[in-house]
Amino acid sequence: MKYTNSIEIALPREQVASLLADPGQLPKWLRGVVVHEPVNGVHGELGTQSRVVMQSGQQTMELTETITRRDPEDLHSIPKEVVVHFAREIAGPGMWSVARDRLTETSPETTLWEQESEYRFTSLQMRLVGLLMPRTFHKQSQQHMRDFKEFAEDGKDVREGES
């Protein structure tokens, strides 16, 4: 299953790239993150593998994330014509996914974030979920992007108001 989402963020591209690349910011905008810790490498750097624990309701899932692309490596003073690329693979019980992010400067103060997502399911249960509810994955990805936009632009933390 493949799909693409996009959102415009009213911040300069360098600032958006820095926030997205900072795992310390993840719990503020990525709903359900309980743990995001490197197993080897340095947070956010190319090749780093991290243990990720996500929780949704009573269900907890442990995943492995690998940063497979970060271009350019230095997120400061990026020329306007350069598109920032991030990619990460995530593997967990019964599934594998990749997210490929592109950040394009649409104006000095505005960034277009496009994300291509691809999922492959290896267990029967996850294959059924993918077949019966494909829009759920697409909607969840778009919600994450909206949450990031609200966090980046307004400082809204998704954990506020959770019980």
Beta bridge partners of 90: 65, 97
pLDDT digits (tens, 9 = 90+) for 154-163: 999 998 866 5
Kindly list the distances between the CA atom of residue 40 and the CA atoms of 30, 69, 81, 89, in Å, as whole numbers in the listed order: 22, 16, 33, 15
* 3-state DSSP assignment of residue 114: strand
- Look up tokens 């997502």; give the residue: 117
**Per residue of the chain (163 residues), what is the pLDDT tens digit?**
899 999 999 999 999 998 988 888 999 999 999 999 999 998 878 899 999 999 988 889 999 999 999 888 777 667 777 788 889 999 998 889 999 999 999 999 999 999 999 988 887 777 676 666 768 888 989 999 999 999 999 999 998 866 5
The full set of domains in the chain, from first to last, is 2-154 (3.30.530.20)
Task: Single out the residue of 83, 69, 75, 96 nearest to residue 22, CA to CA.
Answer: 75
